[in-house]
């Protein structure tokens, strides 16, 4: 019965499951260890399991380590097709009071911010492997890269701004609203005046 419940969750998650999901569904986490011993599941990392032979979804793996993890900066640009560079290191944003396992993850660059703007522009999308992850929307991402200009590769920065300016889906009203809240309105306006 518990095995079936776990496999149903794995099936809905495109081949993955976390210890948290097992516990949240009222199943004893010991069943994960039993399933790993039997070869039904593979332990990918602490608290993260998958069916054997499944390609690891690094995005989902990172997201499953903190409910506050939001993909941002150059990783968000990639997820929104504003960069063609596949991330090797993933940019995430977390609240500035965060202290957890992601701080030790070598594949992650953390951007810490105040909780009062943490959720500004957060959306949920499917990772390249089909799992739900949190990422900043395009306008918030543009504000972030402008605010953190000195941390972004010049080529990635320039291409992202040009592609955004040419996009039919851009929302300049939302961009201005975010820029005002983030206190970077002048900087954003300077870049947009040149590009539009």
Cα(36)–Cα(122) distance, rounded to whole angstroms? 35
Q: How many domains does the chain have?
A: 2
The predicted pLDDT at position 78 comes to 96
Q: How many Å apart are CA 36 and CA 118, to the nearest integer?
A: 37
Give the model confidence (pLDDT) of 116-152 as tens digits.
Answer: 999 999 999 988 888 889 999 999 999 999 999 999 9
pLDDT tens, residue by residue, 14-61: 788 888 889 998 999 898 988 999 998 988 777 888 888 777 788 988
Strands (E), the chain: 16-18, 42-45, 48-50, 70-71, 90-95, 108-113, 122-126, 132-136
Rounded CA gap, 140 and 120, in Å? 7
Cα gap 23→126, rounded to integer Å: 23
Per-residue model confidence as pLDDT tens digits over 155-176? 999 999 999 999 998 999 999 9
Contact 16, 54 (CB under 8 A): yes
**For the whole model, what pTM was predicted?**
0.81
For residues 135 and 185, state if they share a domain.
yes
**162 & 191 share domain:** yes
**Residue 41 belongs to domain spanning:** 2-56
Are 161 and 108 found together in one domain? Answer: yes
pLDDT 10s digits, 96-112 = 999 888 998 899 999 99
Are residues 52 and 131 both part of a single domain? no
Residue 89 DSSP symbol: S
């Amino acid at each position: 019965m518990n095995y079936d419940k776990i496999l149903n969750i794995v099936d809905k998650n495109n081949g993955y499951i976390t210890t948290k999901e097992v516990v949240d569904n009222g199943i004893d986490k010991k069943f994960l260890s039993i399933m790993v011993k039997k070869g039904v599941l593979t332990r990918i990392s602490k608290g993260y399991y998958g069916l054997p032979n499944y390609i690891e979804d690094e995005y989902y793996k990172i997201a499953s380590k903190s409910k506050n993890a939001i993909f941002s900066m150059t990783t968000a640009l990639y997820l929104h097709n504003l960069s063609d560079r596949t991330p090797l290191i993933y940019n995430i944003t977390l609240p500035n009071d965060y202290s957890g396992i992601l701080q030790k993850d070598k594949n992650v660059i953390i951007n810490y911010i105040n909780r009062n703007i943490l959720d500004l522009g957060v959306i949920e999308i499917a990772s390249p492997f089909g799992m739900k992850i949190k990422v900043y929307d395009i306008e918030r991402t543009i504000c972030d890269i402008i605010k953190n200009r000195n941390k972004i590769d010049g080529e990635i920065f320039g291409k992202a701004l040009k592609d955004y300016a040419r996009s039919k889906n851009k929302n300049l009203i939302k961009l201005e609203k975010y820029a005002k809240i983030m206190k970077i309105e002048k900087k954003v306006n300077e870049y947009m005046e040149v590009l539009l």
